[in-house]
Structure 1
Amino acid sequence: MKTITFYVVALLCLCATKLCAQTFSDRANAIGDKIELITKQQKDSLKTEVEAVNVQLEKNEITTAQADSKKQELAQKRANNIETLVAVEQQKLDDLVKDKVDGKIEEDKNGRRFTFKYDTKSRSVKDSIKKVYEYKRTQSQLVFAIGVNRLMNDGNADKNFKWRSDFYEWGVSWNTRILKENNLLHAKYGLSLQYNNLRPDGDRVFAKDGARTILVDAGRDIDVARLRYVNLVIPAHLEFDFAKKKVNGDKTYFPIQRGFRLGVGGYVGLNVKEKQIIKFEDDNGNNVKDRTKGNYNVNDFVYGVSAYVGYRDISLYAKYDLQPVFSNNEIDQNNLSLGIRFDFN
Structure 2
Amino acid sequence: MRNFTIYLTGILLLFLTQIFAQETFESRAKVIASKIESITKEEKAALKEEVEAVNIQLEKKKITQEQADQKKQELASTRAKNIETRVALVQDELKDLVQEKVDGKIKEQDSSRTWVFHFDNKKHKQKNLDGERRTTSQFVFAFGLNNLATDKSIAHSDYRFWGSHFYEWGFTYNTRILKNDNLLHAKYGLSLMYNNLRPTENRYFKETGNQTNLEVSATHLNDSRFRNVYVVLPAHLEFDFTKKKQKDDKTIFRTHKSFRVGLGGYVGANIKSKQILKYEDEDGNNVKQKTKGDFNVNDFIYGASAYIGYREVSLYAKYDISPLFANNAVDQNNVSFGLRFDFN
Identity of aligned residues (%): 46
Aligned to 1:138: 135
- Looking at structure 2, the residues matched to 256 and 190 of structure 1 have their Cα atoms a distance apart, in angstroms, of 17
Aligned to 1:220: 219
SS at match of 1:82: helix
SS at match of 2:326: coil
SS at match of 1:60: helix
Confirm or deny that 1:166 pairs with 2:189: no
Superposition pairs for residues 244-323 of structure 1, below 5 Å?
244-323=243-322
Aligned to 1:69: 81
Confirm or deny that 1:41 pairs with 2:60: no
- Looking at structure 2, the residues matched to 222 and 252 of structure 1 have their Cα atoms a distance apart, in angstroms, of 61
Picking from 94, 101, 106, the partner of 1:82 is 94
- Looking at structure 2, the residues matched to 89 and 201 of structure 1 have their Cα atoms a distance apart, in angstroms, of 42
**Residue 264 of structure 1 contacts residue 306 of structure 1 at CA under 8 Å; is this kept in 2?**
yes
- Looking at structure 2, the residues matched to 204 and 275 of structure 1 have their Cα atoms a distance apart, in angstroms, of 15
Aligned to 2:144: 147
Report the TM-score, using the length of structure 1 for normalisation: 0.75
Confirm or deny that 1:110 pairs with 2:122: no
- Looking at structure 2, the residues matched to 296 and 50 of structure 1 have their Cα atoms a distance apart, in angstroms, of 17
Look up the equivalent residue of 1:60 and give its one-letter code. E
- Looking at structure 2, the residues matched to 228 and 300 of structure 1 have their Cα atoms a distance apart, in angstroms, of 14
Look up the equivalent residue of 1:332 and give its one-letter code. D
**Residue 151 of structure 1 contacts residue 335 of structure 1 at CA under 8 Å; is this kept in 2?**
yes
- Looking at structure 1, the residues matched to 275 and 35 of structure 2 have their Cα atoms a distance apart, in angstroms, of 30
Report the TM-score, using the length of structure 2 for normalisation: 0.76
Look up the equivalent residue of 1:51 and give its one-letter code. K
Number of aligned positions between the proteins: 282
Q: 1:41 to 1:68 in 2, by over 3 A?
A: same
Aligned to 1:5: none
- Which moved further from structure 2: 64-73 or 38-47? 64-73
Superposition pairs for residues 175-214 of structure 1, below 5 Å?
175-214=174-213
Look up the equivalent residue of 1:242 and give its one-letter code. F
SS at match of 1:223: strand
Q: 1:212 to 1:178 in 2, by over 3 A?
A: same
- Looking at structure 1, the residues matched to 30 and 235 of structure 2 have their Cα atoms a distance apart, in angstroms, of 16
- Looking at structure 2, the residues matched to 259 and 181 of structure 1 have their Cα atoms a distance apart, in angstroms, of 18
**Residue 69 of structure 1 contacts residue 272 of structure 1 at CA under 8 Å; is this kept in 2?**
no
**Residue 152 of structure 2 contacts residue 333 of structure 2 at CA under 8 Å; is this kept in 1?**
no
**Residue 304 of structure 1 contacts residue 322 of structure 1 at CA under 8 Å; is this kept in 2?**
yes
Offset from partner CA, 1:29-84 (integer Å, 9 cap, x none): x76x5222211122223333333334323433894443333333333222211222
- Looking at structure 1, the residues matched to 305 and 195 of structure 2 have their Cα atoms a distance apart, in angstroms, of 15
**Residue 229 of structure 2 contacts residue 271 of structure 2 at CA under 8 Å; is this kept in 1?**
yes
Aligned to 2:46: 56
- Looking at structure 2, the residues matched to 46 and 167 of structure 1 have their Cα atoms a distance apart, in angstroms, of 20
- Looking at structure 2, the residues matched to 295 and 41 of structure 1 have their Cα atoms a distance apart, in angstroms, of 27
What are the ranges of 5 or more consecutive residues in structure 2 without an aligned counterpart?
Answer: 1-17, 54-74, 107-126
SS at match of 1:238: strand
**Residue 230 of structure 2 contacts residue 271 of structure 2 at CA under 8 Å; is this kept in 1?**
yes
- Looking at structure 1, the residues matched to 130 and 86 of structure 2 have their Cα atoms a distance apart, in angstroms, of 43
- 4+ aligned runs moved over 4 Å, structure 1: none
Look up the equivalent residue of 2:157 and give its one-letter code. K
Aligned to 2:120: none
Q: 1:230 to 1:111 in 2, by over 3 A?
A: closer
Offset from partner CA, 1:207-263 (integer Å, 9 cap, x none): 112211111111132221111111111111111100000110211111100000000
SS at match of 2:143: strand
- Which moved further from structure 2: 152-161 or 250-259? 152-161
- Looking at structure 1, the residues matched to 224 and 252 of structure 2 have their Cα atoms a distance apart, in angstroms, of 51
Offset from partner CA, 1:80-111 (integer Å, 9 cap, x none): 112224534654549xxxxxxxxxxxxx9736
Superposition pairs for residues 122-137 of structure 1, below 5 Å?
136-137=133-134
**Residue 150 of structure 1 contacts residue 165 of structure 1 at CA under 8 Å; is this kept in 2?**
yes
